């Protein structure tokens, strides 16, 4: 039995929001997925999110960021069309997202810079994991009794 499931991690660009004629929210974004080995061309993948996921993606995306490190889970979809200029059949693959998660090790959270957020020294393209910096502090969990109603993000 074949299962259509894909999971990708990469940098997603700011999503473009639209509304269908029936009133459903849709977010479309491109993301770049790094490849390693002999074929080192980065892959650009189009991602589509619908309704609540689209709204949540749009409201969660930092307004001042060009991209955000995410993990996308979904199904692979092939779109085909006819090129109006040449008359040739064209196609591309995209991901119809079921879930989009922020990769916290590549973001800035509560004033703590994590690797890959664009503010730290880069690895110079040598395909090694970004270095951890001594200026980072480890987050300390607070007792649940100290968290006020509405303060937790879940």
Asked if residue 151 is part of any domain, the answer here is: no
Confirm whether 1 is domain-assigned.
no
Beta-carbon-side half-sphere exposure of residue 47 (alpha carbons within 13 Å): 31
CATH number at residue 75: 2.40.50.140
Q: What is the pLDDT of residue 125?
A: 39
- Residue 84 pLDDT class (50, 70, 90 cuts): very high
Say if 146 falls within a structural domain. Answer: no
pLDDT for 65: 81
Q: How many CB atoms lie within 10 A of CB 116?
A: 17
Mean confidence (pLDDT) of the chain: 77
Q: What distances in angstroms separate CA 35 from CA 42, 93, 147, one per listed residue?
A: 6, 17, 41
Tell whether 138 is covered by a domain.
Answer: no
pTM over 0.95: no
Categorize the per-residue pLDDT at 15 as very low, low, confident or very high, splitting at 50, 70 and 90.
very high
Please indicate, yes or no, if residue 45 is contained in any of the structural domains: yes
Domain membership flag for residue 135: no
Domain that holds residue 79: 6-119
Query: How buried is residue 74: exposed, middle or buried, by Cβ count under 10 Å (0-12/13-18/19+)?
Result: buried
Please check whether residue 143 lies inside any domain of the structure: no
Q: How many domains does the chain have?
A: 1
pLDDT greater at residue 135 or residue 24: 24
Q: Residue 148 falls within a domain, yes or no? A: no
What pLDDT shows up at residue 127? 38
Q: What are phi and psi of 32, to 5 degrees?
A: -105, 135
């Amino acid at each position: 039995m074949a299962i259509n499931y894909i999971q990708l991690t990469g940098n997603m660009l700011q999503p473009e929001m639209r509304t269908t004629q029936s009133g459903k929210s849709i977010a479309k974004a491109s993301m770049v997925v790094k490849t390693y080995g002999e074929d080192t061309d980065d892959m650009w993948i189009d991602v589509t999110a619908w309704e609540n996921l689209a709204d949540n993606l749009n409201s969660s995306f930092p307004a001042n960021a060009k991209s955000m490190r995410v993990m996308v889970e979904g199904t692979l979809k092939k779109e085909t069309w006819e090129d109006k200029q040449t008359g040739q059949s064209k196609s591309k693959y995209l991901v119809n997202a079921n879930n989009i998660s922020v990769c916290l090790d590549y973001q800035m959270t509560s004033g703590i810079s994590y690797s890959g957020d664009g503010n730290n020294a880069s690895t110079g393209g040598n395909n090694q994991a970004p270095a951890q910096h001594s200026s980072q502090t480890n987050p300390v969990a607070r007792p649940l009794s100290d968290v006020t109603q509405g303060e937790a993000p879940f």
